[in-house]
Amino acid sequence: MAVNSTHRDYDKYSPKWKRCRDTVAGQDAVHAAGEAYLPKLKDEEQKDYDARRKRSDFFNGSWRTIDGLNGMAFRKPPTVEVPAGIEAYLLDVNMAGVSLDALASTVVEDVLEVGRIGLLVDHPPMPEGVSALTVDAAQRLGLRPAIHIYATESIINWKFQRINNAWMLAMVVLKESEAVAEDEFKEKLEDRYRVLDLVSNAQGQTTYRQRMFKREDEKDIQIGSDIFPLMNGKTLDFIPFVIVGPNGKGDNIDEPPLIDLIDANLALYQINSDYRHGLHFTGLPTPVVAGYHPDPENPQSLYIGSTSAWVFSDPQAKASYLEFTGQGLTELREASREKKQEMALLGARMIADETKQIETLGATQIKRAGENSILARIVTSVSDGLEWALGVFAQWAGHSGKITYQINRDFNPMMLDAQTLTALVGAVQAGQLSKQSMFDLLQRGDVVAADLTFDEEQERIGSDGPAMPARPAPAVAA
């Protein structure tokens, strides 16, 4: 097998990933895909098809949904706890100026979009002839770990197997692009293949190896020698790469979580195309002349407008307008409206006209709970993947300690009206609710900042001095 061979599941899911990518990318990408999303009509010429496609507008509800769900996940900052020695690294976690929170947002977005992404924890090789460095020396040389993300399309092949009585990643091939100079001013991109695998060393120990390849003349050509990364002077017995999906870390590929919404969005595009096509040919009244016989020796053109008048020599001649009547366009318009409602039920709540939907509070809560459970599962998976990557990152940086990275799961703020607040204060005063519980409820309702602790709020209250007594309400004349 060649290094660019793809896993059977990669071949199975690639068309779905492309469908998701094109839809989320918007109108230009959907139009560029041509007949993949907008089939030709029977006997339609290419120029007519191109004109129809250009008239067909694309309403990108899928991206709005993903953007909205991602915003819900990060409406409050994640909970982060790492060793003090790597806190500064979190502002530039990939050595390219991207913070950990920004990287996490990209990961959530990709899992929402296609259902899969990879995280590689890597470390630059040591200088030649040096097997170990102190942490301070490594920092001075810029030799520090980094977390890199790989889109699902870049993870082309993989293998999981049981090693040392644990089910783990044994091999993964990552497709990359390398800019190669053609001359002083021009570059071209060439495909590269980074192979990460586990092999046995001379002592029979499992060892992590990294290699780089390119394809040339239908042959695999290795670039450079084998690399055996070291952590604290020792080789690794695992591959520092994790695949994150909507249902956790592992070897299984899951369906893109919003694939039904994606397909509904493309169906809406086709309906809109038919509607706009119909409007193009029926929207303007067409003049019709009967009984008019132009002089074949001196034919005249007939113009429409306030400055033109048609005068016919035959008194029986008639002129009228042909206008479209029928239910065809109305049905298409209604189909478009219904498809948008379907998209709303599939997750795009922000694009639906829900003013005409009458729901009980219970039904609304059930619907939101269903949406939240999907998003909650995704952010839990992403949080677990990032925690694992941060653990490897910290070890490689020479630090140990507790690692926590949990993305917010409180997606909908709890609205606290005046009556509810009054009841809560009364419960605290009556000893039926603790101050800590009251504080937690105020945070959920966005009354108190999410990053403020209970003790900090108590200090603020103490520094403000005693509260002013409430003034009695003014009397109202009968």
Secondary structure in 3-state letters for 15-68: HHHHHHHHHHHCHHHHHHCHHHCCCCCCCCCHHHHHHHHHHCCCCCHHHHHHHH
State the pTM of this model. 0.78
Which pLDDT does position 278 carry in this prediction? 79
Evaluate whether residue 341 is within a structural domain.
Answer: no
Q: How far is CA 466 from CA 51, 100, 445, 469, in A?
A: 73, 41, 25, 9
Of the candidates 294, 284, 278, 291, the one whose C-alpha atom is nearest the C-alpha of residue 321 is: 284
pLDDT greater than 80 at residue 445? no
Evaluate whether residue 433 is within a structural domain.
Answer: yes
Residue scoring higher pLDDT (124 or 224): 224
3-7, 33-37, 271-275, 381-385: lowest mean pLDDT where? 271-275
With residue 321 as reference, give the H or E element that holds it. Answer: strand 318-322
Q: How far is CA 47 from CA 40, 43, 53, 274, in A?
A: 11, 12, 10, 17
Of the candidates 290, 284, 289, the one whose C-alpha atom is nearest the C-alpha of residue 323 is: 284
292: CB partners within 8 A, 6+ apart: 310, 312, 314, 317, 319
Number of Cα atoms under 13 Å in the Cβ half of residue 78: 27
Evaluate whether residue 417 is within a structural domain.
Answer: yes
**Predicted confidence band of residue 471 (pLDDT cuts 50, 70, 90):** low
Of the candidates 334, 402, 333, 344, the one whose C-alpha atom is nearest the C-alpha of residue 370 is: 344
Q: CA–CA separation, 220 vs 427, rounded Å?
A: 72
DSSP structure string for 79-130: EEE--GGGTGGGGGTTSSS--HHHHHHHHHHHHHHHS-EEEEEE-PPPPTT-
Dump strand ranges (E) for 152-262: 155-163, 166-181, 187-200, 206-216, 219-222, 230-231, 234-235, 241-245, 248-249
DSSP 139: H
pLDDT greater than 80 at residue 476? no
Of the candidates 57, 52, 59, the one whose C-alpha atom is nearest the C-alpha of residue 24 is: 59
CB burial of residue 454 (10 Å; 0-12, 13-18, 19+) = middle
* 8 A C-beta contact, residue 23 and residue 266: yes
pLDDT greater than 50 at residue 356? no
**Maximum average pLDDT range among 118-122, 183-187, 254-258, 450-454:** 118-122
Count CB neighbours of 50 within 10 A.
13
Please calculate the CA angle 402-405-406 and round it to the nearest 5 degrees. Answer: 130
User: pLDDT tens digit string along 368-417?
Assistant: 544 456 888 899 999 999 999 999 999 998 899 999 999 988 776 666 66
Q: CA–CA separation, 14 vs 16, rounded Å?
A: 5
Evaluate whether residue 436 is within a structural domain.
Answer: yes
Residue scoring higher pLDDT (274 or 157): 157
Q: CA–CA separation, 264 vs 21, rounded Å?
A: 14
459: CB partners within 8 A, 6+ apart: none
Evaluate whether residue 438 is within a structural domain.
Answer: yes
Section 225-244 average pLDDT: 93
Q: Is 401 left (phi over 0), alpha (psi -120 to 50) or beta?
A: left
CB burial of residue 363 (10 Å; 0-12, 13-18, 19+) = exposed
Evaluate whether residue 84 is within a structural domain.
Answer: no
Mean pLDDT over each residue of the chain, to the nearest integer: 83
Count CB neighbours of 247 within 10 A.
16
* 8 A C-beta contact, residue 32 and residue 168: no
Backbone φ, ψ for residue 242 (5° rounding)? -135, 135
Section 126-152 average pLDDT: 75
Section 431-439 average pLDDT: 79
- CB under 8 Å, gap of 24 or more: what pairs does 205-214 form? 205/235, 205/237, 206/163, 206/164, 206/237, 207/235, 207/236, 207/237, 208/235, 208/236, 208/237, 208/238, 208/239, 208/240, 213/3, 214/178, 214/190
User: pLDDT tens digit string along 24-71?
Assistant: 999 999 999 999 999 999 999 999 999 999 999 999 989 988 998 898
Q: How many domains does the chain have?
A: 1
Evaluate whether residue 434 is within a structural domain.
Answer: yes
**Predicted confidence band of residue 348 (pLDDT cuts 50, 70, 90):** very low
DSSP structure string for 384-439: HHHHHHHHHHHHHTT--S--EEE-----S-----HHHHHHHHHHHHTTSS-HHHHH
Evaluate whether residue 460 is within a structural domain.
Answer: yes
Range of the domain at 439: 413-466
Q: CA–CA separation, 194 vs 300, rounded Å?
A: 73
Q: How far is CA 456 from CA 78, 181, 436, in A?
A: 19, 56, 12
